[in-house]
Amino acid sequence: INAEYGVIKKAYRKLALKYHPDKNKDPGAEEKFKEIAEAFEVLNDPEKRQIFDQYGEEGLKGGGGPPGSGPSSGNFNGTHFTFHGNPFATFSSFFGDEDPFQSAFFGPNMSGMGPNISGMPNMGGFPSGPGMSTMFQQMGGGGSSSRTPAEKEVYLTLEELYQGCTKKMKITRSIFQDPHGLSASRQEEKILTLDIKPGWKEGTKMTFNNEGDVYPGKKAQDIVFIVRQKPHSVFTREGNDILYNTQIPLGDALCGNTEIVVPTITKEKIPIPIGDSTVKPGSKRKIKGYGMPLSKIPGQYGDMLVTINVEFPDKLSPQQKSAVREMFPK
């Protein structure tokens, strides 16, 4: 329990400092600051939090029963929550004598806790929108909907992202009887199948609804798998394009009339002819259609972009230097 409330306090500190009106002048920051305070007042009270977990915001406003049941229903002795209306008081109570802004945001004598604390008009009650519930989930509460999705990264090779593949992921989810998730009554194992589409990019998300931990009175947690690409020894990906670096000797760069053989992700070898013009270090060549497949446009591909670097000798003999000066006079 102490660990869980430690997370809640840490979240309140972060969000309250971010949206404090003396620091954040964005439109809507003051309303968010109020919603954060309301959420913290609920999370910090075990009884109110239990009501919110089971019945949501309406149950908490209505006195602890299901929405629409009135203040006398439920098993919480008619507990009824109305925010006291002063988020600055919550802020002051939380930080006490500490001045969180002294070094982080303001100079001396600018604590951000001036006359606004006592001068705030009464704004009791919950906000009319979904802000309270949103802030509650950000700070670790579940409300009447599902918990924050569990995220897991899936590392794939560039070849797997090019061709597409299927991955089997073993998960273990907990079944809780306590709505706060303090102790699991049992655990279940399950295999989830991830269907990786050709061309998917780093950061693509796959959501499996209701496959995560289960809490009483709400939907099971969702599980989100996030695609990550493993580093490749030869290629680099940039959007839908594949980048390849190669190098040629200085003599070939100066004389031309040669070709570069470029490997591809499909193991095919593509020759790039170099004409009789010189090749400057960092020159680019494009091989159209040899990049990554476009996941949203089947049959279309990005390009391969080849960068040609020139290999210079470490040093020249006196005879070579003389020949170079003769070929390239000032």
Quick one: which of 233, 241, 211 has its CA closest to 146?
A: 211
pLDDT at 280: 93
Grade residue 193 by pLDDT with cuts at 50, 70 and 90.
very high
Grade residue 128 by pLDDT with cuts at 50, 70 and 90.
very low
% of the chain exceeding 70 in pLDDT: 72
> Is the separation of the CB atoms in 214 and 175 below 8 Å?
yes
Grade residue 182 by pLDDT with cuts at 50, 70 and 90.
low
Stretch 242-259: mean pLDDT, rounded? 92
Stretch 137-152: mean pLDDT, rounded? 63
Q: Is 107 a residue whose pLDDT tops 70?
A: no
> Is the separation of the CB atoms in 308 and 260 below 8 Å?
yes
Specify the range with the lowest mean pLDDT, choosing from 19-23, 118-122, 294-298: 118-122
pLDDT at 181: 55
Alpha carbon distance 100, 208 (integer Å)? 40
Three-state SS letters, 9-64: HHHHHHHHHHHCCCCCCCCCHHHHHHHHHHHHHHHCCHHHHHHHHHHHHHHHHHCC
Quick one: which of 138, 149, 197 has its CA closest to 173?
A: 149
Grade residue 106 by pLDDT with cuts at 50, 70 and 90.
very low
Digit-coded pLDDT (tens) for 3-49: 466 778 888 888 888 899 888 888 888 988 988 888 888 887 777 77
pLDDT at 242: 98
SS3 assignment, position 191: strand
Grade residue 299 by pLDDT with cuts at 50, 70 and 90.
very high
Q: Is 249 a residue whose pLDDT tops 80?
A: yes
Specify the range with the lowest mean pLDDT, choosing from 108-122, 221-235, 251-265: 108-122
Digit-coded pLDDT (tens) for 255-285: 888 899 999 999 999 999 988 889 999 999 9
Q: Is 291 a residue whose pLDDT tops 50?
A: yes
Alpha carbon distance 191, 172 (integer Å)? 9
Alpha carbon distance 79, 71 (integer Å)? 8
CA quadruple 44, 45, 50, 52: dihedral positive or negative?
Answer: negative
> Is the separation of the CB atoms in 33 and 13 below 8 Å?
no
pLDDT at 312: 92
Grade residue 327 by pLDDT with cuts at 50, 70 and 90.
confident
Of these ranges, 61-65, 130-134, 267-271, the one predicted with the greatest mean pLDDT is 267-271
Digit-coded pLDDT (tens) for 64-99: 444 444 443 334 444 556 666 788 888 888 888 776
Sheet containing 223-229: order of strands: 150-156, 223-229, 205-208
pLDDT at 113: 36
